[in-house]
Structure 1
Amino acid sequence: MSENNPSAMDYAEHEKTYAGFIAFSKIGAITSINVVLCLLIFGLGSGYSILAGWVALLATIVAAVIGCALGQKGWIPSAYAFGLAGLLAVLTVA
């Protein structure tokens, strides 16, 4: 046996890993919704929809990278990118 108490676990490290998983899941979910919104802009838009779709997609990628670096509050840049993509979708699809 390596220790006298084999059931001792590092709960602090487990909680830190779980918090990171939840933060990454939030970023991933919002980014996936943004990509679908970008596809909507590309597919249904007219006029400047190609440009608007690329701007929204680039903003989504940049926001996801920044969000991964921020940690717990990492979903906020992706939410701003979602707002931008939503605005561009309303302007180009309508």
Structure 2
Amino acid sequence: MAESMPSAMDYPEHERTYAGFINFSKVGTIAVLNVVLCLLLFTFGGGAGTFFGWIAMVATLVTAAIGMAIGEKGWIPPAIVFVVAGLLAIVTTA
């Protein structure tokens, strides 16, 4: 009878996959918060809010893609859009 040994785990690949999952979670969470801010701008911001909401929505898509490509610090570009969209929401809905 031939004994079959299970193959060794590829731990570096597991760690790389986990790091990618964590990065995706960070970027995805901030992108969802950006979408919520855009919806707030669309609903309560009037004409200027709609305009800035669309700009923030496009910026969210672009920065989320950039954030996924950057890696560990990929949450920073969408977070910048979140801060700017939050300021725009404060200004346009007041």
Same fold (TM over 0.5): yes
User: TM-score w.r.t. structure 2 length?
Assistant: 0.90
**Residue 8 (structure 2) pairs with residue 8 (structure 1):** yes
Q: CA RMSD in A?
A: 1.5
Paired residue for 1:85? 85
User: Structure 2 counterpart of 1:82, which letter?
Assistant: F
**Using the alignment, how far apart are the partners of 1:45 and 1:54 within structure 2?**
12
CA shift at 1:29, angstroms?
0.4
Q: For residue 14 of structure 1, what is the amino acid of its counterpart?
A: H
CA deviation map 1:3-35 (0-9, x unaligned): 964152111110010000000110000000100
Aligned-partner residue type, residue 49 of structure 1: G
Shift >3 Å, 4+ stretches: none
Contact conserved, 1:26 with 1:75, CA < 8 A, in 2? yes
- In the alignment, the residues of structure 2 paired with residue 58 and residue 37 of structure 1 have an alpha-carbon distance, to the nearest angstrom, of 13
Letter in 2 for 1:85: A
Contact 1:47 1:92 in 2 (8 A): no
Q: Percent identity?
A: 61
The answer for unaligned runs of 5 or more in structure 1 is none
Q: Does 1:36 align with 2:21?
A: no
Gaps of at least 5 residues in structure 2 are: none
Q: Indicate the residue corresponding to 1:23 in structure 2.
A: 23
Aligned to 2:31, what secondary structure does the other structure show? helix
- Tell me if structure 2 keeps the 8 A contact 1:39–1:53: yes
